[in-house]
Amino acid sequence: MENINSILRRFQQPDLEFLGELFTAKDVRLTTLPELDPFGPRPPQQYVGPIFTLSKVYRTGWKSTGAGTRIFAYLHPQAPACESVLQALNDLEGEVLCVMPGCPRHWPGRFDRITFYAQPLELAFLLPQASLVVTGGVSTTTTALLVGLPIFSVPRTLEQHKVAHVLERSGAAKIADGGDVERIAQDISELLDNSKHRQAAIRIATKYMATQFENNASRIAGDQNAGAGRAARISAANYDSLGI
């Protein structure tokens, strides 16, 4: 509680006595989309959309040209079925770029058709030419959706599982269920070959085509400082503060 209250004092807000007081706000801001809210949609709440927090990223491009398959992955080696997913991707025809913090040293040699990166990449530069995104992170999932890309979800936390199941019901995603490489390959191929999944993602992207999310953090902070006071809290329904 002392850590929380020290932050509140910096913003001239009164201390909390109990942690539960965080959730008594009248003005709740949900930093997600209704389509990704596992407990929604909640009309009384104000969905302000995602907050993207990564500023230092590496720019790289696709090596392949033309109309071939391009898959972007952002995975963690601790994620269940991660090795099976990588094997399925390694066996596919097409180019695969994979961001993986903490990648085991021998994996790039083992999955030699995948190009691995340890640092985040500039998604705005890569995703418009991509065919599919493979990830568990809510921020990467949100970014892919806003570009209109289907997602093969590899969740590693309870929250990511809940978001993935919501998105799967929309038709824009499939979830890695177990470590069967053949089943994973079939699901990835289904996402690539069946246009209904891309169309489901495009419907969501089209809905937010005119919405600007880039300045959400400063806009929300400005709203709070303009008089919302203690009643205004940010309820982060996307749980990945590092943008993964």
176-200 pLDDT, tens digit each: 988 899 999 999 999 999 999 999 9
Residues pairing with 95 in the sheet: 70
**Domain-located, residue 56:** no
Is the same domain home to 112 and 194? yes
From CA 31, how far away is CA 215, in angstroms rounded? 12
**Domain-located, residue 201:** yes
From CA 13, how far away is CA 60, in angstroms rounded? 43
H or E stretch including 4? helix 2-10
**Domain-located, residue 62:** no
Helix (H, G, I), strand (E, B) or coil at 221: helix
From CA 199, how far away is CA 104, in angstroms rounded? 36
Residue 121: which pLDDT band, with cuts at 50, 70 and 90?
A: very high
Q: What is the pLDDT of residue 44?
A: 57
Q: What is the pLDDT of residue 240?
A: 39
Is the same domain home to 77 and 91? yes
**Domain-located, residue 4:** no
Question: What average pLDDT does the structure give for the chain?
Answer: 85
Whole-prediction pTM = 0.80
Give me the percent of the chain exceeding a pLDDT of 90: 57
Domain range holding 171?
70-207
Residue 25: which pLDDT band, with cuts at 50, 70 and 90?
A: low
Does residue 238 carry a pLDDT above 90? no
The backbone torsions φ and ψ at residue 51, rounded to the nearest 5 degrees and listed phi first, read: -115, 120
Is the same domain home to 112 and 128? yes
Does residue 219 carry a pLDDT above 80? no
Q: Are 92 and 69 in contact (CB under 8 A)?
A: yes
From CA 49, how far away is CA 214, in angstroms rounded? 10
Integer-rounded Cα Rg, in Å, for the chain is 19
Does residue 58 carry a pLDDT above 50? yes
Count how many domains the chain has: 2
Question: Residues in the chain, how many?
Answer: 244
Does residue 46 carry a pLDDT above 70? yes
From CA 157, how far away is CA 165, in angstroms rounded? 12
- Calculate mean pLDDT across residues 143-147: 93
Residue 231: which pLDDT band, with cuts at 50, 70 and 90?
A: very low
H or E stretch including 95? strand 95-99
Is the same domain home to 124 and 199? yes
